[in-house]
Amino acid sequence: MSGISIFITLTLIGQAAAEAPAVVALNSEASLKLLQQRVETTQVRLTKDPDVNMKIVTTPVFRYSDELRQIEDAGLWLWTDRGRPAAVMKVERYKLGLHPRQWLYCFVSLSPELISAEWPNERKYQARQPGVVWKSFDDVPKETRPARLIQMREIARRFSAEIIDFKDVPRQMRMLARPLYRYEDGVNGDGCLFGFTGTGTNPDLLLMLDSDADGNWQYGLTTLTAEGLRVRLNEKLVWEVPHTGDKGTEFPNWTYFLPNN
């Protein structure tokens, strides 16, 4: 190969390398738009007071893929009620051919009140139980907002969790590095939403921390998977749910399904 040919080849390779990040970013942006469009068609309401404005956080609180489950792209979206988390929904896009349909939704109530959700094609869900049962700590929230965030991170690290497959085989979960959501400044009280994953990326368990009316911290736990979960606080078992993979797709405070399109 002549010197000129080598120069041209290296130049083209350099151009391709420079363009690659732009292509990846474009694909990611296009994929996010598809996810977002599906979230925007979801309507979430309080059952007893449907006029209460349930505010959606416009961007996903977490974005992920999951090679183990062959999920190419996914996001976790959050609705709030008067500043506190009230519902979350996973929207996941699977590799073609894995399921009869490429998309999967997982909708979970985080509200102490009953809520309902509705999607296109008259798909509806009505929670029969509150989404979270609060349990109190003795810890008193710190006075400043930055100090409370440090305190909440320390509290969250007291928890450990296992995910259990259909053969009753457990594997250790890890807490995601950053909180998924922090209450906005000005909300009455403070709190954070933490995620635990059993696959390295996909949040299958949510831990909610919140300052209660008595001025103490409280916590709540909820599932985002059909697999079983066990949670310990300071090595003591405090919460457990069984594997639900063969028990349908609709439960008292959460549901998952493959949308029609």
Burial (CB count <10 Å: 0-12, 13-18, 19+), residue 63: middle
Per-residue tokens: 218: 């409280």
Name the pLDDT band for 97 (thresholds 50, 70, 90): confident
Q: Specify which residues 250 forms β-bridges with.
A: 255
Q: 240: closest CA among 148, 130, 164, 175? A: 164
Residue 15, pLDDT above cutoff 90: no
Bigger pLDDT: 98 vs 191: 191
DSSP string, 146-206: HHHHHHHHHHHTTEEEEEE-TTS-EEE-EE-SS-SEEPPTTSSS-EEEEEEESSSSSEEEE
Question: In the numeric block, which tokens belong to residue 20?
Answer: 């690659």
Going by pLDDT thresholds of 50, 70 and 90, the confidence category of residue 100 is confident
Whether 123 contacts 107, CB under 8 Å: no
27 pLDDT band (50/70/90 cuts)? Answer: low
**What does pTM read for this prediction?**
0.86
Q: How many whole angstroms separate alpha carbon 225 and alpha carbon 53?
A: 28
Q: Identify residue 48 by its one-letter amino acid code.
A: K
197's CB contacts (< 8 A; 6+ apart) are 173, 174, 176, 203, 204, 205
Concatenated DSSP letters for 67-107? TTTTEEEEEEEEEEETTEEEEEEEEEEEPTTSSSSSEEEEE
> Three-state SS across 123-147?
EEEECCCCCCCCEECCCCCCCCHHH
The structure tokens listed for 122 are: 């008259």
pLDDT value of position 261: 78
The predicted-structure confidence for 162-197, as pLDDT tens digits, reads as follows: 999 888 899 999 999 999 999 998 788 899 999 999
- Give the Cα separation of 107 and 105 in Å (integer): 6
Q: What is the mean pLDDT of residues 207-224?
A: 92
Token pair in block for residue 9: 């080849």
Q: Grade residue 98 by pLDDT with cuts at 50, 70 and 90.
A: confident
Confidence at residue 166, expressed as pLDDT on a 0 to 100 scale: 86
| Nearest CA-CA partner of 210 in 39, 82, 68, 62 | 82
Evaluate whether 210 touches 83 at the Cβ level (below 8 Å): no
Strands 115-119 and 123-126: antiparallel
Specify the pLDDT at position 56: 94
User: What mean pLDDT comes out for the span 38-54?
Assistant: 89
Task: Say if residue 128's pLDDT is above 70.
Answer: yes
Residue 173 contacts residue 161 (beta carbons within 8 Å): yes
CB proximity list for 123: less than 8 A, separation 6 or greater: 257, 259, 260
pLDDT in tens, 62-76: 999 999 899 999 999
